[in-house]
Chains A and B, each alone.
Chain A
């Protein structure tokens, strides 16, 4: 009994370390990608498409004979920067509006909540299809699209967290003093909800990676020759029939990073609760 509990605790710790390692690695790769790529991602390194792995071309070559390893590294930067930008924007929008709706209530809350409901009720990929068809597949359009789509979910969480606080007496004190909305939202309420919102940020980012990869897989994302992970899967999909493993690698990158972000939040939460419990 006791042993099992100890092992469980060590496992939790291990998942925290593993997830942090993966996230850290991805971050470093994204930051230093120009220096660690062995080849230019647009350079042709083999004569034939889907060349087998060899020294210097560690993961083989893609459908045009370019070094997949270098393209994967370059794609890491594209994927993470876009996901980060979209998530940051979603949180900026969702947190502000969510706390505002909680604080104000009434018609402000009603209007924003219905808009959020509307966004949440639409299938994301179909919306993406329509928007990209109308505005073109530029990075800015895709990031803003993802931000708005995910802001609705963030809004709901921020509003729920805020609703628990707005009736606390310290908010009434601030109101009776005549404090402005900005002060109440960001100085009084935000410190109380920052931790769960930060956890949401990590999970939301994994969603954003999946969403934007899906768009790219459908050909609605960033356009060649630039490619994110989803785009790399799409480009090289034909290789599967030819017996090449090339499209598998970017797919693994997508899966591993999303899982790592989720594990990170889970195990961090567990870790903090344990520390609180033993204190």
Chain B
């Protein structure tokens, strides 16, 4: 007890308006040098719990009972001045989105050293030196000068590391990390995880690590608490949880994270290369070039896709893998006719497709359906599920009245939702349910080609897996041709027969999934494959080793991508 930096006892947090407690009688403690992971799906109360350590409660919530003690101070009843003196110095917070956490108008140095200035712990010069030492330890390039940049002048992964530096600046006793890598690409995630692990170890800091991803957690946590509906349902060391989970929910989590590992489950699914290769492909993308800005001689001002070719057959799933900025969403929009290509052609059944939706026929539009990543924005929040689906039926098939109601119910059943959901608004659905409606809308058109653009990346692991299962069932049952776009290799490997890897708008490798992912030829594919988190201790170190080996072959710029090719800026990033 006396050793623990943070101890939370019998904490109950409930909404002011009443209803189910968000945190329901949780007791945990963290000791020096220990990393306690809080893992659970969204809505499990993990973030609310972690934030009480900072003495923070979201508006609309209140404490019913319990205590949160940080280094001898009761945080829930502490005066605002006390909280201010502790925050940043004794306890620090690392948020999910570094981009939102930094002030875009202040230089990074100023923001990292701000905590020293606020608490008046040391002169600016010393604080700056401390910050520069931290940059070095976190593997940021040119630690002496990089802090002179503004937040937008460094890459996403670098910015996340600056946030870690900000958290560690005053060597706090406890670090609260809220999904610090969830918004990052896999290759960037590896860097940030390593930096975080290093930082925690160097300072012998205690940490609370909130995440939904067991594979990530298992690299960094010493202990894991599994949360569900505001309760800790299982608690143990990382090894115990991974090797011998007791609760059914934990087993499901572990299974999902294992399933997400390339090759393990994928092997069973991967059938022989598509049966109908001799026939005319359902969809052919031929040498497509696309981008933004004025097109001169077939080349747009900013090129996001160049020389992309792709074939899709009936009943086949083609995976397109790429990280943010690789142009994969542009490809989806080019095929759907929402973004005209500057060059190249798209054929459906051997027939040339017009490059904009307006110039395609109704039947061409009906046969190609796009499923967007964010169901939140892809569904009109003011329309009921029934209206959303019904409109598509009316539009393409002229279905109305009773027949339409029946078909809506049928579609909901197809995506495993109860028929009553027709009367609900999207805001009354969970994230997974929304994504199912999103899928049902595409299916309502009775398409032959389905383009799925990152449809699982906004979802929790278990929910994402059920959506993938659904897509797989549908592709078999309806014999759809599916283009499955994702940054997540593991997901693609369980679904796709053929895979295409995109990097900076170009295809670096393509072929049958099993061959490409089990023996990748291109160094970038190798890097991607090695960066997929695996739920076993030691994976992070292996990934770092692979990365170092590949660094040379990848001309370094991949590891710290630079968005704008401006002289001074790129020299900085490349020299890492």
- Which residues in A have some Cβ–Cβ distance to B below 8 Å? 168-170, 172-173, 175-179, 187-188, 191-192, 277-279
- Nearest CB of chain A from residue B18's CB, rounded to whole Å: 11
Cβ contact of B370, chosen from A168, A173, A191, A278, cutoff 8 A: A173
Contacts A278-B16, A278-B17 given: A175-B338 contact, CB under 8 Å? yes
Q: Are A169 and B374 in contact (CB under 8 A)?
A: yes
Q: Tell me if A170 and B365 are in contact (CB < 8 A).
A: no
Does B466 belong to the interface (CB within 8 Å)? Answer: no
Interface residues of chain B, those whose CB is within 8 Å of chain A, are 16-17, 59-60, 333, 336-338, 357-358, 360, 362, 365, 370, 372-374, 377-383, 392, 395-396, 441, 445
From A168, A176, A278, A279, give the contact of B336 (CB < 8 A).
A176
Chain A residues with CB under 8 A of B358 = 178
Task: Assess whether A173 is in contact with B337, with CB atoms less than 8 Å apart.
Answer: no
Residue in A168, A175, A176, A188 whose beta carbon sits within 8 Å of that of B377 in the complex: A168
Contact among B17, B333, B380, B396 with A279 in the assembled complex (CB-CB below 8 Å): B17
Q: Which residues of B contact A191 (CB under 8 A)?
A: 380, 382-383
B378–A176 CB distance below 8 A: no
| A179 CB contacts on chain B under 8 angstroms | 395
Q: Are A173 and B16 touching (Cβ within 8 A)?
A: no
Residues A176 and B338 in contact in the complex (CB < 8 Å), given A169-B372, A278-B16: yes
Cα separation A188 to B383 with both chains bound (whole Å): 8
Known contacts A170-B378, A170-B380; is-contact A175 B357 (Cβ 8 Å)? yes
- What's the Cα separation between A175 and B441 when bound, in Å? 14
A132 to B65 alpha-carbon distance, docked (Å): 72
Query: Can you list 12 A-B contacts (CB < 8 A)?
Result: A169-B377, A169-B378, A170-B377, A170-B378, A173-B372, A173-B378, A176-B336, A176-B337, A178-B362, A191-B383, A277-B59, A278-B16
Task: Give min CB distance, A41 to chain B, whole Å.
Answer: 46
Interfacial chain A residues near B381, Cβ < 8 Å: 192
Interface SS of chain B: helix, strand, loop or mixed?
loop
Which 9 residue pairs spanning A and B have beta carbons closest together? A191-B382, A169-B378, A169-B372, A170-B380, A169-B377, A168-B377, A178-B365, A176-B336, A176-B357
Q: In the bound complex, do residue A177 and residue B395 qualify as a contact, i.e. CB atoms below 8 Å apart?
A: yes
Complex alpha-carbon distance, A183 and B175, angstroms: 51
CA distance A277 to B17 in the complex (A): 10
Q: Is the interface of A mostly helix, strand, loop or mixed?
A: helix
Bound complex: CA A177 to CA B337 (Å): 10
With a cutoff of 8 Å between Cβ atoms, the chain A residues found around residue B377 in the complex are 168-170
Residues of chain B contacted by A278 (CB below 8 angstroms):
16-17
Residue numbers in A under 8 Å from B383 (CB-CB): 187, 191
A-B contacts besides A173-B372, A177-B365, A178-B395, 19 pairs, CB < 8 Å: A168-B377, A169-B373, A170-B378, A172-B333, A172-B372, A173-B370, A175-B338, A175-B357, A176-B338, A176-B357, A176-B370, A177-B392, A178-B360, A188-B380, A191-B380, A191-B383, A192-B380, A192-B381, A278-B16
Q: Which residues of B contact A187 (CB under 8 A)?
A: 383
* Distance of A191 Cα from B426 Cα, bound (Å): 14
Question: Bound complex: CA of A173 vs CA of B360, how far in Å?
Answer: 15
- Closest A residue, CB atoms, query B16: A278
Assembly CA distance A252 to B396 (angstroms):
59
**What is the bound-complex CA distance between A278 and B441, given in angstroms?**
34
**Minimum CB distance partner of B375 in chain A:** A169
Given contacts A169-B374, A279-B17, contact A176 B365 (CB under 8 A): yes
Q: Which residue of A lies closest to B445 (CB)?
A: A177
Q: Are A170 and B357 in contact (CB under 8 A)?
A: no
Q: How far is the CA of A170 from the CA of B371 in the complex (A)?
A: 10
Specify the chain A residue showing the minimal Cβ separation from B382.
A191
CB-defined contacts of B378 to chain A, threshold 8 Å: 169-170, 173
Most buried by B among A175, A177, A277: A177
B34 → A minimal CB distance (Å): 38
* Chain A residues within 8 Å of B373, by CB: 169
B533 to chain A minimum Cβ distance, whole angstroms, is 28
Complex CA gap A177/B444 in Å reads 12
Chain B nearest CB from A62 CB (Å) reads 51
